[in-house]
Amino acid sequence: MTAGSTHQDVLDWTNACWDRLPTAPALRARAGEIAAKLAAEIAGGKLPFLATPFMAALEKDLADLEAKYLPKFRHMLLLGIGGSALGARALQKAFAPGQDLPGHTGKSLWILDNVDATSLEAHLSRLPAKDTLVYVVSKSGDTIETIGQYFLVKEWLKRELPADWKDHLLLNTDEQKGYLRQEATQFGIRTLPVPDNLGGRYSAISAVGLVPAAFLGMDWRGLVRGFQSVAGPLADPGLDAQKLSQHPSFEFALWGKALMDAGYLELITFFYIPAWCSFADWFAQLWAESLGKDGQGSQPLPAVGVTDQHSVNQMFLDGPRNKSCLFVERAQGPEGAPFPADMPAIFDYLQGKRFGELLPAEALGTRMALCQSAVPLVALRLGKDDAEAAGKMMALLGAATLLTGWLMGINPVDQPAVELGKRLAKARLGADGLEKEKADLLAFTTGDRDERGF
């Protein structure tokens, strides 16, 4: 891209520091192996998040929901956790920020992604049930945090709307199995299926994120269009080593793995599009849960510009030299209001400028400071911060995460350590079975403790 161009999305590799990443050439030589693995996995139906075979049916369902169902409601209460919530929150913050601003009177999305009794009670005491759609998202249909919320929200709906409580529930779950599927069958509750092999953290561009997007009136078709423009070539049966080598997600995966090999074990995701900062949290789960395996991986560090210039950037710039950075910015933002003419003389440099010029100036300053502080950095610069660009970015980062995992020799679509914590929690609550976990809990909680007041 030429200097000053603002019409396209671009990855700027100028400061990626390839010269400090000696394993990159050997990793690049694995393009044929990775391309063959992609083809086999897609042919086997194991990567629906890239191939999106479910999209045609989902687009029809979404259009029907938009026309006949979603307009009935003013509030959506989303019950979900992790990948069932992070994508929806990022999209709401980026493209429907009105509910976070004073005087909002339009539609609102409320997300319960934790087991906080106070928050649950506050939502149920203040939301008007007759105007609220409860969207329950759990692929397994058995996620204890989400199902725990569902039990209480279902009782709330039955109490407030005894005649038509079922019409205020929409379940997104497995098509065949799980508790939520049983509920849907027993009570005739409206559902949308989660495709097989679609893991939560890879599911934002599916019904998981697109239903809230449609509810809030976002350009969800643009999201899909952007996503498929980047993901589609990876699902093409004609993909080979040369084509994969030219795909930006493979280049990012090479960089990510080579960084780990060179000891750069923390990846800053610095978003200089303030409304998009929740995408950093979405990416943090994607990268951490996918790649933190077998003692490997790098820790994602979400950051938002300019806020974190004044909080954690000192560590980024002058702390341990184990950090790299994905720097996300836009080519051009809003102009903002002009500065007044009667400012003190020490601020003369602002004369004739607008408030919107501060953010890109600070972004440039931070990006240069990181590079001068020896932080390997790739800049993702968006021509427009619209839905299509967001879809492209989500496909890029999702595919890059998957490919990085394969280059690491791990499975990037499971989360075994997380499952252990879930089993221990269920054991603590008295679930049947789990005898080993119950014995381990007893030993952990009754052993000698070193506890001191403060």
Give the tens place of pLDDT for each residue, 342-371: 999 999 999 999 999 999 999 999 999 999
pLDDT at 357: 96
Specify the pLDDT at position 423. Answer: 87
Residue closest to 62 by CA, chosen among 228, 222, 229, 220: 220
Average pLDDT for 22-42 = 97
How are the residues of the chain apportioned to helix, strand and coil, as percentages rounded to the nearest 5?
55, 15, 35
pLDDT band at 253 (very low <50, low <70, confident <90, very high): very high
Question: At 420, is the pLDDT very low, low, confident or very high (cuts 50, 70, 90)?
Answer: confident
pTM: 0.94
Q: What is the mean pLDDT of the chain?
A: 94
How large a percentage of the chain has pLDDT more than 70?
Answer: 98
pLDDT at 419: 80
10-40+228-408: CATH, from 3.40.50.10490, 3.30.70.1150, 3.90.226.10, 3.20.190.10: 3.40.50.10490
Q: Per-residue pLDDT tens for 179-196?
A: 999 999 999 999 999 999
Residues 6 or more apart whose Cβ sits within 8 Å of residue 245? 28, 31, 251
Of residues 422 and 61, more confidence is placed in 61
- Whole-angstrom CA distances from 42 to 46, 47, 60, 84, 168 are 6, 5, 23, 23, 36
Segment 370-385 mean pLDDT: 96
- Averaged pLDDT, 324-336: 95
Query: What confidence tens digit (pLDDT) does each residue in 105-162 have?
Result: 999 999 999 999 999 999 999 999 999 999 999 988 888 999 999 999 999 999 999 9
Q: C-alpha angle with apex 438: 436 to 444, nearest 5 degrees?
A: 105
Structure confidence at residue 94 (pLDDT): 97
pLDDT band at 4 (very low <50, low <70, confident <90, very high): very low
Compare 345 and 421 and report the one with higher pLDDT.
Answer: 345
CA–CA separation, 215 vs 55, rounded Å?
A: 18
Report, as an integer, the average pLDDT of 197-209.
Answer: 94
DSSP string, 54-90: THHHHHHHHHHHHHHTGGG-SEEEEE--GGGTHHHHH
Neighbours of 436 (CB within 10 A): 10
pLDDT in tens, 279-309: 999 999 999 999 999 999 999 999 999 999 9
**What is the pLDDT, as a whole number, of residue 294?**
94
Instruction: Provide the pLDDT confidence category of residue 89 given band limits of 50, 70 and 90.
Output: very high
H runs (alpha helix) in 173-240:
179-187, 207-215, 220-231
Residue 5 has pLDDT above 70, yes or no: no
Over residues 249-261, mean pLDDT:
98
Reported as a pLDDT band with limits 50, 70 and 90, residue 7 is low
Which residues are known catalytic residues? Answer: 289, 310, 422
Please determine, for residue 388, whether its predicted confidence score (pLDDT) is greater than 90. Answer: yes
Decide whether 10-40+228-408 matches 48-218 in CATH topology: yes
- Tell me what pLDDT residue 432 has: 87
pLDDT of residue 3: 41
Query: 430 pLDDT exceeds 50?
Result: yes
**Strand, coil or helix: 175:** coil
Topology (CATH level 3) of domain 48-218: Rossmann fold (3.40.50)
Question: Which of 326, 239, 262, 236 lies closest to 27 in space, CA to CA?
Answer: 262
Task: Parse the chain into domains and list their residue ranges.
Answer: 10-40+228-408, 48-218
| pLDDT for res 6 | 41
pLDDT of residue 1 exceeding 70: no
Is 60 exceeded by the pLDDT of residue 240? Answer: yes
Assess whether pLDDT exceeds 70 at residue 263.
Answer: yes
CA distance 155 to 165: 9
